[in-house]
Amino acid sequence: MKVVMIGTGYVGLVSGTCFAEFGAEVVCVDVDAAKIEKLENGKIPIYEPGLEEMVADNVRHKRLRFSTDYSHIGEADLVFIAVGTPSRHGDGYADLTYVYQAARDIATNLQGYTVIVDKSTVPVGTARNVKRIIGETNPAADFDVASNPEFLREGAAISDFMRPDRVVLGVESERAKKLLHELYRPLNLIEAPILTTDLESAELIKYASNAFLATKISFINEMSVLCEAVGADVHAIAKGMGLDNRIGKKFLHVGPGYGGSCFPKDTQALVRIAQEHGASSRIVESVIEVNSAQKARMVKKIRAALDNNVSGKTIAVLGLTFKPETDDMRDSPALSIIPNLIEQGARIRAHDPQGMEEAARLLPKEIEFCDDAYSTLDQVDAVVILTEWNEYRGLSLDKLKQLMRGNVFIDLRNIYEPETVRDQGFRYTCIGRP
Ligand code: UDX
């Protein structure tokens, strides 16, 4: 089985490497020559646990190669499109320029029957547009299109790929279905469900899934506001709800609002898709609103903990990425919360195990970045935990007390027990707990 993966971003690199691990012969192609050169030298442009080793292993076994040469498409049975689909500025539509360019590049290089598969998250109808573009660019081409959305969590992408809850295949022909099933055959061993649908349904399953998960998060975040108002504990609420199998306990953790490369972009896109087709998506619109409100609420919380005045105060921020085990800063709550605090006159010292380089690029220049958690706390008035990295879970409270000049402890991921921290003499603030 020969596979070409177009685009060596997060999704393309993980998927290409995992297909090689399945036993396929994979060439990952990208227009970015510098990136390809780095990959050829074993340098992985993103931080994803286990990826570097898996790339090296598959390169050594000659199942995985990197190239800028699109002519590899001619040898492929399956060509995956895994290029970026950023939100278009201003209107929230997914920008499909790269997808359609990939379709044209594929069209001119096709030889023999090939299945072209959308892996990127694309608006409903894109696979059909890809089909049209390829047909127009190369009328003699023998091909089918398919949609195979990814459901990878950053930080757990390899295991999500190798042990998926499900694989979704949107196909139009038996021939394409057979090839894709053949590619995913190793998953039969672990009895992973493989769901075959039409193109449009596969495209929509991805948006519906992400929007539903975002809904769970916004729902529990909204409950946390109510908990604070009535004196209830949001952890008890989440547990009590989650024990109902129909609800499930996952994705009911309160936090400073969801971020990352998928939820913000995909919820926006779903709303646009619905608008475009004259349908309504009022629930998802509210989910987006509740999420921005949650971020704004966090700034208020920090202010309140500092006696309603952050001006002239020094605040240590621990964690900058949108979640742990990634260096990804995309749509991270830190990007809205920190600038807001600086505008109000706060001085910020910050640390993140993986995200500081990217954070320094995106955040105001006056932030002082520190080498580790403890050095960040030197003489600060308050500490804010913004991302629940493991190394922040077991901080020595004794040491904190010695290092800090203030005693304000703001835990926006609820990773500490209120009583424990308060017993140590801190003024502890978290989300939705008495
Ligand atoms: C998500 C989806 O999980 C994945 O299936 C999809 O393909 C891409 O988007 P990812 O963005 O990597 O994956 O992160 P995820 O672990 O799902 O977390 C997303 C955001 O939600 C993070 O900001 C996280 O902190 C937040 N979150 C998650 C909560 O605030 N509470 C929760 O209970 C769960």
228 in any annotated domain: no
Q: Which amino acid is at 309?
A: N
The pLDDT score that the predictor gives to residue 88 is: 77
Q: Residue 133: which CATH number?
A: 3.40.50.720
Is residue 181 located within the same domain as residue 239?
A: no
Other CB atoms within a 10 A radius of the CB of residue 188 amount to: 10
The pLDDT score that the predictor gives to residue 89 is: 72
Show the tokens assigned to 372. 């580790």
311 in any annotated domain: yes
Atom of ligand 1 nearest to the CA of 255: 30
Is residue 276 located within the same domain as residue 390?
A: yes
Is residue 293 located within the same domain as residue 168?
A: no
Strand partners, 64: 26
347 CB near ligand 1 (under 6 Å): no
Is residue 165 located within the same domain as residue 245?
A: no
Is residue 175 located within the same domain as residue 273?
A: no
**Residue whose structure tokens are 């704004």:** 296
Ordered DSSP codes for 3-28: EEEE--SHHHHHHHHHHHHHT-EEEE
What domain range is 290 assigned to? 233-434
Each residue's pLDDT, cut to its tens digit, for the chain (434 residues) gives: 999 999 999 999 999 999 999 999 999 999 999 999 999 999 999 989 999 999 999 999 999 999 999 999 999 999 999 999 887 776 767 899 999 999 999 999 999 999 999 999 999 999 999 999 999 999 999 999 999 999 999 999 999 999 999 999 999 999 999 999 999 999 999 999 999 999 999 999 999 999 999 999 999 999 999 999 999 999 999 999 999 999 999 999 999 999 998 999 999 999 999 999 999 999 999 999 999 999 999 999 999 999 999 999 999 999 999 999 999 999 999 999 999 999 999 999 999 999 999 999 999 999 999 999 999 999 999 999 999 999 999 999 999 999 999 999 999 999 999 999 999 999 999 999 99
The pLDDT score that the predictor gives to residue 87 is: 78
322 CB near ligand 1 (under 6 Å): yes
Distance CA 201, CA 206 (A): 9
Q: How far is the CA of 325 from the centre of ligand 1 (A)?
A: 12
Binding-site residue numbers are: 30, 35, 85, 121, 151-154, 206, 251-255, 259, 265, 323, 330
User: Which pairing describes strands 347-351 and 368-369: parallel, antiparallel, or unpaired?
Assistant: parallel
Is residue 52 located within the same domain as residue 113?
A: yes
320 CB near ligand 1 (under 6 Å): no
Atom of ligand 1 nearest to the CA of 206: 7
Per the CB < 8 A criterion, the answer to whether 413 and 385 are in contact is yes
178 in any annotated domain: yes
410 in any annotated domain: yes
Instruction: Give the residue, by CA position, lying nearest to ligand 1 atom 22.
Output: 258
Is residue 173 located within the same domain as residue 317?
A: no
Is residue 178 located within the same domain as residue 255?
A: no
Binding-site residue numbers for substrate are: 151-154, 206, 251-255, 259, 323
Is residue 323 located within the same domain as residue 406?
A: yes
Instruction: Give the residue, by CA position, lying nearest to ligand 1 atom 3.
Output: 153
Is residue 262 located within the same domain as residue 370?
A: yes
Q: 217-229 pLDDT, tens per residue? A: 999 999 999 999 9
Q: 401-414 pLDDT, tens per residue? A: 999 999 999 999 99
210 CB near ligand 1 (under 6 Å): yes
420 in any annotated domain: yes
Question: Which segments within 171-273 are labelled E, that is strand?
Answer: 194-197
Q: How far is the CA of 403 from the centre of ligand 1 (A)?
A: 33
The pLDDT score that the predictor gives to residue 86 is: 83
Q: Mapping DSSP to helix (H, G, I), strand (E, B) and coil, where does residue 349 land?
A: strand
Question: Which segments within 83-223 are labelled E, that is strand?
Answer: 114-118, 143-147, 167-170, 194-197
ipTM for the predicted complex comes to 0.94
The domain total for the chain is 2
219 in any annotated domain: no
253 CB near ligand 1 (under 6 Å): yes
Q: Which amino acid is at 148?
A: N
423 in any annotated domain: yes
Catalytic residues: 262
State which of 221, 249, 263, 267 you would mutate to test the pocket of ligand 1, scoring each by most atoms of that ligand within 8 A of its C-beta.
263
258 CB near ligand 1 (under 6 Å): yes
pTM assigned to the model: 0.94
Atom of ligand 1 nearest to the CA of 251: 33
Is residue 411 located within the same domain as residue 305?
A: yes
Is residue 167 located within the same domain as residue 274?
A: no
The pLDDT score that the predictor gives to residue 90 is: 66
